[in-house]
């Protein structure tokens, strides 16, 4: 295994992680910002409300995008397992 193939494997892993975690993190970020702005505007500082709303947003993102995320993970796993023979040589 040379340095270029190790970097390629690592790069592919980071890209797969970004595709899988990105939508969930983006949903939590957007909902957190909206809830924070609304709490600031209404001067209601209830931490459990913000957590509950973000929890529902993340659950909805996982429910809607879960199959696509699983497809991405399966494709990455197939590519990784398929490239083992080339990496080991």
Count the neighbouring beta carbons within 10 Å of the beta carbon of residue 61: 19
User: Can you give the pLDDT at residue 1?
Assistant: 66
Q: Is the pTM of this model over 0.85?
A: no
User: Can you give the pLDDT at residue 82?
Assistant: 85
CA distances from 7 to 50, 79, 89 (A): 40, 15, 16
User: Can you give the pLDDT at residue 14?
Assistant: 93
Transcribe 23-50 into DSSP letters. HHHHHHHHHHHHHHHHHHHHT---HHHH
Contacts of 82 (CB under 8 A, 6+ apart): none
In the chain, which residues have pLDDT < 70?
1, 89
User: Can you give the pLDDT at residue 45?
Assistant: 80
Residues recorded for the chain: 89
């Amino acid at each position: 295994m040379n340095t270029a193939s190790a970097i390629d494997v690592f790069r592919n892993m980071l890209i797969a992680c970004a595709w899988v975690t990105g939508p969930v993190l983006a949903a939590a970020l957007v909902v957190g910002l909206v809830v924070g702005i609304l709490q600031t505007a209404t001067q209601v500082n209830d931490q459990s409300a913000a957590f509950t709303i973000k929890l529902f947003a993340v659950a909805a993102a996982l429910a809607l995008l879960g199959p696509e995320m699983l497809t991405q993970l399966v494709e990455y796993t197939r590519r990784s397992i398929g490239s083992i023979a080339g990496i080991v040589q």
